[in-house]
Amino acid sequence: MAAPSGEAPLTAATNIEPFYVLHKGAGASSASSSSASSLPTSGRARRRIDVSGTASPSPKPVGKRCRGEAAAADDDDGDAEAYERLRLEAFRRVWSKIQSTIDEVLRGISLKLFDQVLQWAHESFSAVRSVVRPSAAQVRQPYPLLTDVICRKIPTAFVLTKNAEFVDDITTFRDLAEHLGSNGCHLAKLSATELSEKHGVSGCFRSLLRQLLSDVPDVADMFALASWYSAEENYDQPIIVVIDDLEQCSGDVLGELVMMLSEWVIKIPIFFVMGIATTIDAPRKLLSSEALQRLEPCKLTLGSATDRMNALVEAILVKPCTGFCISHEVAVFLRNYFFKHDGTITSFISALKLACSKHFSIEPLSFLCMGMLEEDCENFWRNKFDALPQVLRKYASGLPSCTREKDSIKSSNNMVEGLSELMKIQKDWSSVLLCLYEAGRHGKVQLLDIFCEAVNPELQTQKIPNPPTGKSGSIRRFIDQAIDTIRYLPVETLFHLLEVWSIHLKGMDKISDKVKELQSTTISTDAVRITKDKWPRRSTNSTGNTTAPLNDKVAMLLDDVTRKFLVPFECLPFHEIICFKNVSILQSALIGNPRRMVQLDLLKPRKHLRCSCCRKSGVAVLASMHDTSIMCNLAQEYGDVINLHDWYLSFDGIINSTHSKVKRKPHTSPSKKKSKSIAAESEAMVQARFCRAVTELQITGLLRMPSKRRPDLVQRIAFGP
Amino acid sequence: MAPRGGHAAAAGVSSGSEDDDEEAGFSRNYFLAKEKEPSSGKKRARAAGKLADLNLVDEQVLRASLAEIPPKHESEVEALTRSYKNQYSNWLFELRCGFSLLMYGFGSKKLLLEDFASTTLTDFTVIVINGYLPSINLKQVIVTIAEIFWEQTKLKRKCQTATRPQLQSFGSQSIDDIISFLNNQISDNGDDNVCLLIHNIDGPALRDAESQQYLARLSCCPQVHVVASVDHVNAPLLWDKKMVHTQFKWSWYHVPTFAPYKVEGVFYPLILASGGYAQTTKTALVVLQSLTPNAQSVFRVLAEYQLANEKEEGKFVVYLIYIGFPVANKLNLITLFASQVTLNSHLTEFKDHDLVKIRKHSDGQDCLHIPLVSDALEKLLQELA
């Protein structure tokens, strides 16, 4: 990196051109030079930046070292690169697996709604066609088909998303569009940006055409649409226009579009699907009554965000199919991020993706996660382990989780065994966790909460059974709540619960035997009671104790299983390979906080610069500090406005290290100024430094320039980091 | 500033509009005026400091010194910037994972990012956008990207047909069309990537919602990656959740460099030059000296009236001089200079040179006002004599 003083001059083309091509990629650099000249700025030599600094990762150093050394270094570099590629591939595979799981889960949850919409579309289409079935030639006529008013209504499905934040519904509507499209409907999507005043109804109609027609004519009018629709292959399906975020649209533009399309609805059956984030009142508030009358509404509702969240956590975090997991700290952070930050599933997923990429970027052995996706994972790991360079082997045996359990480290197979063991235990862990959730959901316990507790490594240290009345503090709050729920379940639900358990516990033979045993007792007691007892269990509890022991037995079984099998993977060797633990890295990448950090940079510059000159403790502001830092520190003494004159004087005072309060009076100074002509240059320098510091503060947005009315005052914008 | 949605956000980042100021300053003005009243003498000593009291150097001298400011902590700054080199491979990894990088922290990040691009992003075609410039044509950028992809596909398929018309037509297509073209660019080997390096994505020319929307849509094109820097503390207000989570997919990096904002700061006015009145006094003097002695006398009378009334009546009304006979007569202007016509021609001349401005007085009459603070005006009169 070039030193700041050695940088290109300010007038250099690279600095004052709005944009330029720095360099062409390796793949594209072989492109013909003749074509390059057609690009406005590509001809010039751009790579002026000094790259001779310390070790740069990607271009291999072509040094004059002795051969062996160089070869070894090259080998290492080659290895490092190869493993980096491997990790990248692992990330792509793991994330695409997670992403497809997410898509599947979300689509599965919304499928009921999608089918409703599809059914509605078909019904509406046949309703419209039942009025009149225009011939292709009629459709092509450039004027609307006139019938009575009733047939000028556009069937419209209002989908209530019940999400305060629209971002979660983007995927839902995308999937909905796909679903409808794959079922034969013609589909177009209009976004709020298209339905804006700026684009107007014509822009939005053009966008509609662009999505339907392969070739949009210059004059985008109804006739173009009509002639397209009258083609044989297009004729027998409705056109569905999805508007995902109704509240953000311009009411006038949408109203106009509705009025226009409604005239043609008999000839060209265009239906609307509109997403509504607030209440069903929204269209009434947005559209004119005239436009509203042209809509034939149908109300549909989307599933709740909590359901989706539970399903997602189950599919991507609990079920061990992805090969990637998160530590307790990260889980708690993500949970708080979800509940306290913005409560959208989208942000949760993007946070998880970031965590995933950080894991594969930082953890050298993370590529082994891929093994979890392989059928013969042990073989995969063994192959990979055999190929590992010495450095990585050493690293593997030095993992903190391995050094903890010293007795079982020595053998080279250890990692493979460790990982297999990890996988097996994780599978049991997930089965038990799901059983807990099945019980807890009757008591409205969320899976994410149980999950966060189940990955807590402290759970393991508190394994000793508690006294029957005692709780294990806050560590097992939700787990205990889930177990407690069982004690109050009616028999029918209990029976159903056991059924679900036996599905989850497949493969854990001992436990599923016990479950079966309990199931059989349930059936027998049930058979006895079923004739006389129609009441829920809670009321029978007071009258008789036939079922109470059963509920307790089930609860005790779950408690027992939980203590035995709910082993958080952070307690297991080699978990670092699959488990992302670095919460601070995730947090800083996810939530950039320029407002705080930029101020901290300025107030405490030594933290980053690590210079020896500004070390003096006790004195807040030193002359040796960065000028802008000095100014920022001085600014802390002011309120929301800063008097430039005073600020300058204190800056001057600090720079010249005179702590006496020099206040120059305007009318006494002229004679002085002349006598100090030698000092004038340094004064100019101080002023220049002052100016630059103010400009820099302005660039960071911490200051606002003075207005014309108050030229002596600047405004502070941010207060306190 | 609290986040208030798109438009408010853009306004929040913009560096100080007069209107905002007007509102916020309304009540404050009252107290400021109170402070400046002679009665609160003690406060006055503290608050009345003015730029005029400083011995400000000439703007040219100032600019000359600006170029010669000795760097502080040169080696530390260099070491700090160098320390980020270790992270380059991680940055590249994340970029390949599909995230965009967003660098923030105090100090110019221009050199750092360009160094990262030239040493590490060698497989990418890198396009640099200098967002700190006051005007940027985003469409040109998008057209350039499209042309790069077009070249690449042409090269790959070796198809020679119809390259010219298509190439030229990017410029005439709408941005939406070009972006949908870019969205369809899917490489078989995943190599032919373009990386947009945006210095100051929060810069003045990119602060509007539309530019950010285009950038967001660009960033989610399959072959386009984004590395950007922000300097403004309120930069996150530029984006809504959709842009952050589904389009840009930012991965934030706090990389303070403490490097001077040399190029980024070029377009900001110097606070002690244009902000102060030294320059305006000087230009006013030049203009006045080029006028006739008669005109100079009229200006002098006006200025003296303004100064005298400021001292008598307090802050606001003082600057105002009524046009028309009562005042003109009072000042003997007409008797001095023969006719209303001559006087008017002088006044028009003053107005044309911004020596006086017309304001509405609170009673609805037009008033003349010399847009200089009293100290500057006094100085001007001194020098004019």
Same domain, A289 and A372: no
Same domain, A459 and A326: yes
Q: What's the mean pLDDT in B152-173?
A: 64
Final residue belonging to a domain, choices A303, A332, A357: A303
Chain B environment of A24 (Cβ under 8 Å): 125, 148
Give the range among A130-144, A184-198, A360-374, B43-57 with minimum mean pLDDT. Answer: B43-57
**DSSP alpha helices (H): ranges in A132-238?**
136-140, 169-182, 200-212, 222-229, 232-235
Same domain, A248 and A290: yes
Chosen for mutation from A598, A677, A683 (greatest number of chain B CBs closer than 10 Å) is A598
- Residue A97 placed within a domain: no
Sign of CA pseudo-dihedral A64, A70, A74, A76: negative
Q: How far B188 CA sits from the closest chain A CA (Å)?
A: 12
Same domain, A139 and A259: yes
CA distance B112 to B103: 10
> Residue A74: is its pLDDT beyond 80?
no
Same domain, A560 and A640: no
> Residue B94: is its pLDDT beyond 90?
yes
Same domain, A401 and A259: no
CA distance A182 to A95: 26
CA distance B128 to A647: 37
From chain A residues 548-607, the ones with a CB under 8 A of any chain B CB are: 588-592, 594-595, 597-599, 601-602, 605
More confident position, A146 or B105: B105
The whole-number pLDDT of residue B339 equals: 67
Chosen for mutation from B251, B253, B382, B383 (greatest number of chain A CBs closer than 10 Å) is B251
- Say whether residue A547 is in contact with chain B using an 8 A CB cutoff: no
> Residue A315: is its pLDDT beyond 80?
yes
Could you please state the CATH topology (level 3) that the domain comprising B270-385 is classified under: Arc Repressor Mutant, subunit A (1.10.10)
Encode A620-643: b = buried (16+ Cβ within 10 Å), e = exposed: ebbbebbbbbbbbbbbeeeeebbb
User: What phi, psi does B363 have (nearest 5°)?
Assistant: -85, 5
Contact (CB, 8 A) for B226 and B145: no
CA distance B46 to A103: 65
Model confidence at A664, pLDDT cuts 50, 70, 90, reads very low
Encode A48-75: b = buried (16+ Cβ within 10 Å), e = exposed: ebeeeeeebbeeeeeeeeeeeeeeeeee
Same domain, A480 and A604: no
Same domain, A470 and A529: yes
The whole-number pLDDT of residue A717 equals: 84
A167: DSSP letter: G
More confident position, A514 or A342: A514
Q: How far is CA B237 from CA B6, B8, B13, B212, in A?
A: 8, 9, 8, 11
Same domain, A298 and A315: no
Same domain, A244 and A138: yes
CA distance A357 to A351: 10
User: What phi, psi does A447 have (nearest 5°)?
Assistant: -65, -40
Residue ranges per domain, chain B? 74-254, 270-385
User: What phi, psi does B200 have (nearest 5°)?
Assistant: 55, 70
Residue indicated by tokens 């839902």:
A172
Chosen for mutation from A1, A611, A645 (greatest number of chain B CBs closer than 10 Å) is A1
Q: How far is CA A345 from CA A159, A308, A320, A408, A579, in A?
A: 19, 8, 20, 41, 21
Chain B environment of A342 (Cβ under 8 Å): 241
From chain A residues 201-220, the ones with a CB under 8 A of any chain B CB are: 207, 210
> Residue B165: is its pLDDT beyond 80?
no
Amino acid making up residue A459: L
- Say whether residue A718 is in contact with chain B using an 8 A CB cutoff: yes
In sequence order, the 6+-apart residues with CB closer than 8 A to the CB of A400 are A576
Q: How far B311 CA sits from the closest chain A CA (Å)?
A: 17
Phi-psi region of A333 (alpha: psi -120 to 50; beta: other; left: phi over 0): alpha
Strand partners, A157: A273, A298
Closest to A382 (Cα-Cα) out of A418, A358, A357, A406: A418
- Residue A374 placed within a domain: yes
Q: How far is CA A702 from CA A142, A363, A642, A685, A718, in A?
A: 60, 38, 12, 23, 6
Could you please state the CATH topology (level 3) that the domain comprising B74-254 is classified under: Rossmann fold (3.40.50)
> Residue A60: is its pLDDT beyond 70?
no
The whole-number pLDDT of residue B336 equals: 56
In sequence order, the 6+-apart residues with CB closer than 8 A to the CB of A386 are none
Chosen for mutation from A99, A209, A687 (greatest number of chain B CBs closer than 10 Å) is A687
Chain A environment of B60 (Cβ under 8 Å): none
- Say whether residue A335 is in contact with chain B using an 8 A CB cutoff: no
Phi-psi region of B57 (alpha: psi -120 to 50; beta: other; left: phi over 0): beta
Residue indicated by tokens 């980053």:
A608
From chain B residues 272-291, the ones with a CB under 8 A of any chain A CB are: 272-273, 275-277
Strand partners, A127: none
3-state DSSP of B112-150: HHHHHHHHHCCCCEEEEEECCCCCCCHHHHHHHHHHHHH
- Say whether residue B83 is in contact with chain A using an 8 A CB cutoff: no
DSSP A391-413: HHHHHHHT-HHHHHSGGG--STT
CA distance A621 to A623: 7
Chain B environment of A591 (Cβ under 8 Å): 252
- Pairing outcome for strands B125-130 and A19-23: antiparallel
Through-space distance between the first and last CA atoms of chain B, rounded to whole angstroms? 49
Give the range among A358-362, B139-143, B316-320 with minimum mean pLDDT. Answer: B316-320
The helix/strand/coil state of A13 is helix
The whole-number pLDDT of residue A53 equals: 35
Model confidence at B360, pLDDT cuts 50, 70, 90, reads low
The helix/strand/coil state of A187 is strand
Encode A539-578: b = buried (16+ Cβ within 10 Å), e = exposed: ebbeeeeebeebbebbbebbbebbbebbbbbbbbbbbbbb
**DSSP alpha helices (H): ranges in A388-465?**
390-397, 400-404, 414-440, 447-454, 458-461
Average pLDDT, chain B: 76
Q: What's the mean pLDDT in B122-128?
A: 90
* A276, two tokens: 């509504």
Same domain, A358 and A439: yes
Q: How far is CA A543 from CA A99, A493, A524, A538, A549, in A?
A: 52, 20, 19, 9, 14
A649/B49 Cβ within 8 A: yes
Indicate the burial class of A527 (C-beta count within 10 angstroms; 0-12, 13-18, 19 or more). exposed
**DSSP alpha helices (H): ranges in A462-582?**
477-487, 491-504, 509-529, 537-543, 548-565, 575-578
> Residue B244: is its pLDDT beyond 70?
yes
A360/B56 Cβ within 8 A: no
- Residue A113 placed within a domain: yes
> Residue A470: is its pLDDT beyond 70?
no
- Residue A64 placed within a domain: no
Strand partners, A713: A643
Average pLDDT, chain A: 78
Chain A environment of B82 (Cβ under 8 Å): 1, 53-54
CA distance A618 to A672: 35
From chain B residues 122-141, the ones with a CB under 8 A of any chain A CB are: 122-130, 133, 135-137, 140-141
- Say whether residue A53 is in contact with chain B using an 8 A CB cutoff: yes
Nearest to B133 among A16, A55, A611 (CB): A16
From chain A residues 639-698, the ones with a CB under 8 A of any chain B CB are: 641, 643-646, 648-649, 663-666, 669, 673, 680-681, 683-685, 687-692, 694-696, 698
Contact (CB, 8 A) for B221 and B185: yes
Indicate the burial class of B246 (C-beta count within 10 angstroms; 0-12, 13-18, 19 or more). middle
Half-sphere exposure of B223 (CA within 13 A, CB side): 28
Strand partners, B103: B229, B253
Q: Mind listing the pLDDT tens digit for each residue in B190-225?
A: 667 889 999 999 998 899 988 999 999 999 888 899
Model confidence at B91, pLDDT cuts 50, 70, 90, reads very high
Chain A environment of B193 (Cβ under 8 Å): 25
- Pairing outcome for strands A641-643 and A713-716: antiparallel
Q: Mind listing the pLDDT tens digit for each residue in A291-308?
A: 998 888 999 888 788 888
Q: What's the mean pLDDT in A236-241?
A: 89
Final residue belonging to a domain, choices A270, A303, A336: A303
Give the range among A43-52, A144-153, B50-59, B100-109 with minimum mean pLDDT. Answer: A43-52
Q: How many CB atoms are located within 10 Å of the residue A7 CB? A: 22
User: What phi, psi does B356 have (nearest 5°)?
Assistant: -130, 155
Nearest to B89 among A15, A84, A626 (CB): A84
Q: Give the count of Cβ contacts less than 8 A between chain A and B.
A: 393
Phi-psi region of B249 (alpha: psi -120 to 50; beta: other; left: phi over 0): left
Nearest to B85 among A32, A53, A708 (CB): A53
Q: Mind listing the pLDDT tens digit for each residue in B134-158?
A: 888 889 899 988 888 888 777 776 6
Domain containing A231 equals: 108-303
The whole-number pLDDT of residue A202 equals: 86
> Residue A677: is its pLDDT beyond 50?
no
Same domain, A149 and A266: yes
Q: How far B87 CA sits from the closest chain A CA (Å)?
A: 9
Final residue belonging to a domain, choices A524, A547, A577: A577
Nearest to A645 among B50, B133, B137 (CB): B50
Model confidence at B238, pLDDT cuts 50, 70, 90, reads very high
